[in-house]
Structure 1
Amino acid sequence: MRSLPWRLIDRLRAPAPDPDRVGWMLRHVFAHRALHGEGRAENSPAAFRAAMDAGLGIECDVRRSRDGRAVVFHDATLERLTGSTGEVDRMVIGELTHVALSVGGETIPTLRDMLELVAGKVPILLELKSDPDRQVNTLCRAVRRDLEGYQGDIAVMSFDPRIGQWFARKMPQVLRGLVVTEQEHRTYSGTIRRHRDLWTARAQFLAYDIRDLPSSFAARQRARGLPVLSWTVSSRALRERAQNHADAPIAEGEGLA
């Protein structure tokens, strides 16, 4: 009885999508940060090309530049992935696209360049990276600008439910998802937060931390029609877990075997 109000509100605030709209998610394995390794940097053009050659979907990360352009890059700062320093959102696009990645030597790609390269050949999951202390409008507008007119299966997702909320209002034709981890939030207050974030985002699918599966929250959403993808599937054992408790893996390394 305790779960009944959740179920009713979930249906009202985050209705399940048309199965035909999300069917492509269930038919693919997604390469986490594209197919990196063997001299290919994560989220690099070489990694995008390798994923396409392997017939894999692509999951990648998107941040914004200081002047409101979308770039494909995971971290908030440059240090881990390049030989440079600095915060991504404090640099203009012309600076960022001249920064070389430490592996492979390619430069940081813009989202527009990545979309032109993929051109609908494989599906794409865009994880939008935001700062909880800042507005998301500039980031979302930058992504919308590049997505307009794109022909291919694509969806946006984020830990930040404001991202889904923005796309539900401004670009509802684009599928939107909520990225979820239960780590350190396996309490009743954590359950409340997950439902609240689901409603705010009006999520049409979930990208779930593989460490948390099986999960009663994920299972309930999946049962009512929200696809559940799972990250980061990095071993054969985790691949089996994803097969049992999710609809598609977001995988790397041995998880792609």
Structure 2
Amino acid sequence: MRHAPARGSVVTSVLEAIVRDLPWHLSRPIAHRGLHGGPGGPPENSMAAFRRAAAHGVPFELDVQLTRDGALAVVHDAAVRLPSGRARPVTSLTLGELRAVASSVPGAAVPVTLPEVFAAVAGRVPVMVDVRRWGVAGAGGLERAVTAAVRRYEGPVAVQSFDPRTVYRLRRALPGVPVGQIAGALRSAPRALRPIGRSMATNAVCRPGFLSFELDALPSRALRFWQRRGLPVIGWTVHSPEQERAARESVTNVFFSGYLPSAYA
């Protein structure tokens, strides 16, 4: 006589089937700024961190900004501190100047460009590109540069931004690419965008394909509103298996840092 499978095994099988049918950015944990850290590990947003992620078969996220000479530099912060102590916006420096500044800081990642990362990864793992716009200067130039780089790349890629204008432009320019809206408290974003980050009211116009939500901003009534309307959510950032398990009660996928999820063990 055949016994009915245990309820837990049925639920697990159903969930595994659902995950298999999801696109990569919703089913595979994403390494935040590459696979970095640990004893002797590479710095975040470095080519070494991206190569390490690719070697482990791990999708990763990186941040890009446009330099004064039009390069898509992989840099997170809006400004860098010069040896003199003065801060300069990334957008006011050339790629060469930016690299010279980074080279003067022990342990800092020397900025690479998005096309250089694409060439190094060569489609081995998916890449999530965080497009970081800090103002209206050069409006459209950043998005055009990202669009051109993504169109030339043959590997799996998704893009996201905290600026709804960027989300709108990229969604229209890259119809076959997942485009997401970053949301949450967004304390590091321009002040004018923070209320939008909490309410996500621009989603109705920008129509992102997913939300990238700050886990520290949970619980969020606005997030639940958009989830009920079918928008999947990637939570950022978890730093342990315990945090990942807790986050998955509220979100579809996660950005992780500081450990290797069991999915890649």
TM-score, structure 2 normalization:
0.76
Shift of 1:174: 2.2
Correspondence for 1:79: 81
CA distance in 2, matches of 1:177, 1:52: 22
Correspondence for 1:30: 30
8 A contact 1:210–1:238 mirrored in 2: no
Structure 1: gaps (5+ residues): 1-18
Question: For the structure 1 residues 94 and 42, does the alpha-carbon distance in structure 2 shift closer, same or farther, using more than 3 Å as the test?
Answer: same
CA distance in 2, matches of 1:89, 1:244: 39
Question: Between Structure 1 and Structure 2, whose CA radius of gyration is higher?
Answer: 2
Shift of 1:64: 0.6
Question: For the structure 1 residues 190 and 76, does the alpha-carbon distance in structure 2 shift closer, same or farther, using more than 3 Å as the test?
Answer: closer
CA distance in 1, matches of 2:111, 2:129: 16
Shift of 1:111: 0.7
Structure 2: gaps (5+ residues): 1-18, 188-193
Identity over aligned pairs, percent: 33
Does residue 165 of structure 2 align to residue 162 of structure 1?
yes
- TM-superposition CA deviations, 1:47-102 (whole Å, max 9, x none): 0011112221101111110122211110122239xx99632111122333444284
State the number of aligned residues: 233
CA distance in 2, matches of 1:132, 1:256: 35
Once the two structures are overlaid, the 10-residue window that deviates more, 152-161 or 130-139, is 130-139
Question: For the structure 1 residues 54 and 94, does the alpha-carbon distance in structure 2 shift closer, same or farther, using more than 3 Å as the test?
Answer: same
Question: For the structure 1 residues 246 and 255, does the alpha-carbon distance in structure 2 shift closer, same or farther, using more than 3 Å as the test?
Answer: farther
Shift of 1:41: 1.1
Q: CA RMSD in A?
A: 3.1
Shift of 1:213: 3.2
8 A contact 1:157–1:164 mirrored in 2: yes
CA distance in 1, matches of 2:149, 2:174: 12
SS of the residue 1:60 aligns to: strand
- TM-superposition CA deviations, 1:165-214 (whole Å, max 9, x none): 11122232222100010479xxxx95897242212432110001111334
8 A contact 1:58–1:123 mirrored in 2: yes
CA distance in 1, matches of 2:121, 2:246: 29
8 A contact 1:136–1:162 mirrored in 2: no
Question: For the structure 1 residues 101 and 49, does the alpha-carbon distance in structure 2 shift closer, same or farther, using more than 3 Å as the test?
Answer: farther
8 A contact 2:215–2:235 mirrored in 1: yes
| Structure of higher RCO (CA pairs closer than 8 Å, 6+ residues apart) | 1
CA distance in 2, matches of 1:29, 1:100: 31
CA distance in 1, matches of 2:260, 2:118: 25
